[in-house]
Amino acid sequence: MAQELREGDGKAGIARAGKRKWGYDPAQVDAFLERAHALYDSEGIRLTQRDIQSVSFDLTKDGYVIAQVDAALNRLERAVVDKQTAWEIAQHGRVTWKAQTENLYQQILEHVEREQGERFKPGEAKQPSYDKKQVDRLTDQIVDKAAASLGVDGVTEDDVRDLADLNAVSVSNVIFTQRKGKKGYDERQVDYFLNACVQLLSRIESYARVGGASANEPAAAAAPAPAAAVAAPAEAVSPLFAANAQRPAADARFAPQAAASDDAFDALHQAEQNLFVARPAAE
């Protein structure tokens, strides 16, 4: 059980795990949250959901309780997405917002439409990997839930009534059964892809919270602006801490190349680049 808060504990009011238990490095957590909140409170969009998704912290004895830090990051992420949604609608209107959200949905759908068991690169030999059936089932559910919310592809709310508990937070916290090597999917690719799914679900959920309350919305939207024109922050948060799980900051496309079993995926960034590579423009 986490210790009670002590005088002088973290600026974020997060409890310590105890001298014999592992938790997140308090100095790193405090530094990130302090900077993140400063950027959030500043004018414009200077903190993004991706910035929060990419952060990780070292483990240390008597560190901050992991569950409490994760909960604080979830709250911050939700606030950031709501601010972004309100800003996008105010600047460009609901039509453009929906077009951009549907574009992200289509990118994800294009990947999920691959054959089951072949949606991601197999795990490395003798390394932990994710159960393929569980991953495929979840990605199918995410696409169905998003389609119903967006009113596309003939999926209705009645069709996803059993997915009421599926949301951005539940996807962020999902745990798959571990397999060995090629019996499962490469964990890094799945995690990276699910981050994009969380972004999609977060946009949809945020619209339900703030979409009707956005002020100064244009009466009518013109042709959708390029995604980069809306989503690019004035100043992105650079990674504060080195982390093996760091995600690339580039706005990736979800149109995977045909993944052969002998592809070179030795480095994390190369694995991600091969999975999420932009398609050439149609001639």
- Amino acid identity of residue 268, one-letter, is L
Instruction: Determine the pLDDT at residue 257.
Output: 34
User: Mean pLDDT over residues 105-130, rounded?
Assistant: 96
pLDDT at residue 104 is higher than 50: yes
Identify the band that residue 212 occupies on the pLDDT scale cut at 50, 70 and 90.
low
Instruction: Determine the pLDDT at residue 139.
Output: 98
Per the prediction, the chain carries an average pLDDT of: 78
Identify the band that residue 45 occupies on the pLDDT scale cut at 50, 70 and 90.
confident
Structure tokens given for 32: 């990130």
- The burial class, CB within 10 Å (0-12 / 13-18 / 19+), for 85 is buried
Instruction: Determine the pLDDT at residue 13.
Output: 87
Q: Where are the domains of the chain?
A: 94-213+252-275
Q: Which of 214, 196, 234 is nearest to 95 (CA)?
A: 214
Neighbours of 190 (CB within 10 A): 25
Tell me the three-class secondary structure of the chain, residue by residue: CCCCCCCCCCCCCCCECCCCCEEECHHHHHHHHHHHHHHHHCCCCCCCHHHHHHCCCCEEECCECHHHHHHHHHHHHHHHHHHHHHHHHHHHCHHHHHHHHHHHHHHHHHHHCCCCCCCCCECCCCCEEEEHHHHHHHHHHHHHHHHHHHCCCCCCHHHHHHHCCCCHHHHHCCCCCEEEHHHEECHHHHHHHHHHHHHHHHHHHHHHHHHHHCCCCCCCCCCCCCHHHHHCCCCCCCCCCCCCCCCCCCCCCCCCCCCCCCCCCCCHHHHHHHHCCCCCCCC
Identify the band that residue 211 occupies on the pLDDT scale cut at 50, 70 and 90.
confident
> Residues 230, 92: contact at Cβ < 8 Å?
yes
Q: Which of 174, 177, 144 is nearest to 162 (CA)?
A: 144
> Residues 98, 214: contact at Cβ < 8 Å?
no
